């Protein structure tokens, strides 16, 4: 499970005032989703309704293969499309989750707006906790922070006991994070090193925790409390 805390929807770039983060939770086409925005409750409810309608009316056309509805590919697309919808509504700061996967933009508590546009980051980053099946926290990661640049976290698991493997991937879209996490969690011994190079090429980063092995942290994974910024990761491609 991964969870995200804090979100920001700032409708105006000229004001330093923001609302406290407001959480909306709902089911959309078999996927449990949450939306957090620092906006007035009625604005947050309106945004949630747009996303719910998007899922109910459009998602059935995305995945027509039996067995894929409610799967990781569907929820990844739901996140990406919902993120674009929030951008279109004028929200700069927000965080979405879909059955534990996360997509975020901006900050849960934006502090100021950039005056000259030279520094698009303002406010603190979103934080997500990566936990095992028993709910024990394994890692904490900060992401997003740059309004308009999406940051996604996908966590995948397979096996149990001595064969257990947990993979967490950070990428600039939910679909990319889902694809890379699926490849890593299914990789055979010796393949992870090859996939690590592909992660760097895609501007993504990963944490791999396997039973009986030292955790693997790929290039670009945020350490020491640093935030993973999609804008910087994409610039490094």
Q: For position 179, what pLDDT does the model report? A: 92
Section 58-65 average pLDDT:
63
Confidence of residue 14 (pLDDT cuts 50, 70, 90): very low
**Following DSSP, what letter does each residue of 148-204 receive, concatenated?**
T--EEEEEEEE--GGG-EEEEEEESSHHHHHHHHHHHHHPPTTTHHHHHHHHHHTT-
Q: Return the higher-pLDDT residue of 61 and 86.
A: 86
Confidence of residue 77 (pLDDT cuts 50, 70, 90): confident
Highest mean pLDDT among 13-17, 41-45, 161-165: 41-45
Does residue 181 surpass a pLDDT of 80? yes
Percentage of the chain exceeding pLDDT 90 = 25
Lowest model confidence (mean pLDDT) among 66-70, 200-204, 206-210? 66-70
**Maximum alpha-carbon separation in the chain:** 54
Cβ atoms within 10 Å, residue 148: 11
Q: Return the higher-pLDDT residue of 42 and 13.
A: 42
HSE, CB side, 13 Å, CA atoms: give it for residue 141: 29
Q: Return the higher-pLDDT residue of 168 and 75.
A: 168
Does residue 232 surpass a pLDDT of 90? no
Q: For position 115, what pLDDT does the model report? A: 60
d(CA 92, CA 35): 13
Q: Which residue has the tokens 């449990």?
A: 32
Which is nearest to 181 in space by CA: 107, 70, 100, 84? Answer: 100
List, for residues 105-153, the tens digit of each pLDDT value: 988 887 765 565 545 556 788 999 998 877 888 888 998 777 778 999 9
Lowest model confidence (mean pLDDT) among 47-51, 64-68, 73-77, 188-192? 64-68
């Amino acid at each position: 499970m991964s969870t995200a805390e804090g979100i920001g929807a700032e409708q105006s770039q000229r004001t330093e005032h923001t609302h406290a983060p407001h959480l909306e939770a709902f089911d959309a086409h078999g996927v449990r989703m949450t939306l957090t925005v620092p906006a007035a409750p009625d604005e947050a409810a309106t945004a949630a309704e747009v996303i719910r309608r998007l899922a109910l009316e459009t998602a059935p056309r995305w995945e027509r293969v039996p067995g894929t509805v409610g799967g990781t590919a569907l929820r990844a697309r739901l996140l990406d499309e919902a993120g674009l919808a929030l951008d279109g509504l004028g929200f700069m700061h927000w965080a979405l989750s879909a059955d534990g996967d996360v997509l975020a933009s901006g900050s849960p508590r934006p502090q100021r707006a950039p005056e000259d546009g030279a520094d698009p980051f303002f406010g603190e980053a979103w934080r997500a906790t990566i936990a095992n099946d028993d709910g024990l926290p394994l890692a904490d990661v900060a992401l997003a922070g740059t309004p308009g640049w999406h940051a996604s976290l996908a966590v995948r698991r397979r096996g149990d006991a001595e064969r257990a493997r947990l993979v967490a991937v950070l990428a600039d879209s939910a679909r990319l994070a889902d694809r890379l996490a699926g490849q890593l969690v299914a990789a055979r011994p010796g393949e992870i090193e090859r996939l690590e190079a592909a992660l760097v090429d895609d501007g993504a980063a990963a944490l791999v925790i396997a039973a009986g092995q030292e955790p693997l942290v790929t290039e670009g994974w945020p350490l020491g409390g640093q935030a993973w910024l999609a804008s910087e990761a994409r610039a490094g491609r």
